[in-house]
């Protein structure tokens, strides 16, 4: 199940199984006027990419039912989606390596507004460079 929120400019995919986390992270992205699609596990994320959806940034949890974040990232990268910024979000120290090995650009233990702002700025720069 995926739903979209209003926004402009950057398009984000949020992959998170915990409802409270989805609500908080969606609100964070809304603060930065990011157009956000939300899914509940890695499989739903992969299906969006298979369906031809494109995103500027993917923010994903690690451990989720059906398909984990790293598994989804591997499949998304294997599809040729190499430009999309992918950020793993997990407090688990072991997750960092899993995310990086799978092809994530970044891994953060916790998303705070200041950290998200910096990541989004980086994503915007990357997007502007590739469209120049």
Partner 1 sequence: MDYSNLRRQAASMKKSLFDQGYLDEQFCQVEDLQDEASPNFVEEVVTLFFKDSGRLMSNIEQALEKYPRDFNRWDTYMQQLKGSCSSIGASRMKNECMSFRDSCGQGNVEGCMRSFQKVKREHAVLRQKLESYFQLLRQAGPAGAATRPVM
Binding site for partner 1 (CB under 8 A): 17-21, 23-24, 27-28, 30-31, 61, 63, 91, 110, 112-113
Gap between the Cα atoms of 105 and 100, Å rounded: 7
**Which class for 78: exposed (0-12), middle (13-18), buried (19 or more C-beta within 10 A)?**
exposed
Three-state SS for 67-89 is CCHHHHHHHHHHCCCCCCEEEEE
| φ, ψ (nearest 5 deg) of residue 110 | -155, 140
| Location of structure tokens 């989720």 | 64
Q: Which two tokens stand for residue 8?
A: 């402009």
Task: Provide, rounded to whole angstroms, the least separation between the CB of residue 2 and partner 1.
Answer: 19
Task: Provide, rounded to whole angstroms, the least separation between the CB of residue 60 and partner 1.
Answer: 13
Are residues 16 and 38 in contact, defined by beta-carbon separation less than 8 angstroms?
Answer: yes
Nearer to partner 1, 45 or 84 (CB): 45
Nearer to partner 1, 78 or 113 (CB): 113
Task: Provide, rounded to whole angstroms, the least separation between the CB of residue 15 and partner 1.
Answer: 14
Nearer to partner 1, 26 or 49 (CB): 26
Q: Which two tokens stand for residue 97?
A: 């390596």
Nearer to partner 1, 1 or 20 (CB): 20
Task: Provide, rounded to whole angstroms, the least separation between the CB of residue 20 and partner 1.
Answer: 5
């Amino acid at each position: 199940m995926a739903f979209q929120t209003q926004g402009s400019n950057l398009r984000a995919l949020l992959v998170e199984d915990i409802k409270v986390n989805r609500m908080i992270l969606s609100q964070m992205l809304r603060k930065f006027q990011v157009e956000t699609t939300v899914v509940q596990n890695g499989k739903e994320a992969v299906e969006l990419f298979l369906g031809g959806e494109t995103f500027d940034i993917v923010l994903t949890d690690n451990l989720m039912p059906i398909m984990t974040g790293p598994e989804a990232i591997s499949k998304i990268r294997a599809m040729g989606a190499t430009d999309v910024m992918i950020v793993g979000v997990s407090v688990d120290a072991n997750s960092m390596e899993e995310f990086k090995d799978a092809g994530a650009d970044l891994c953060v233990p916790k998303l705070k507004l200041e950290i998200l702002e910096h990541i989004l700025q980086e994503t915007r720069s990357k997007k502007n460079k590739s469209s120049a």
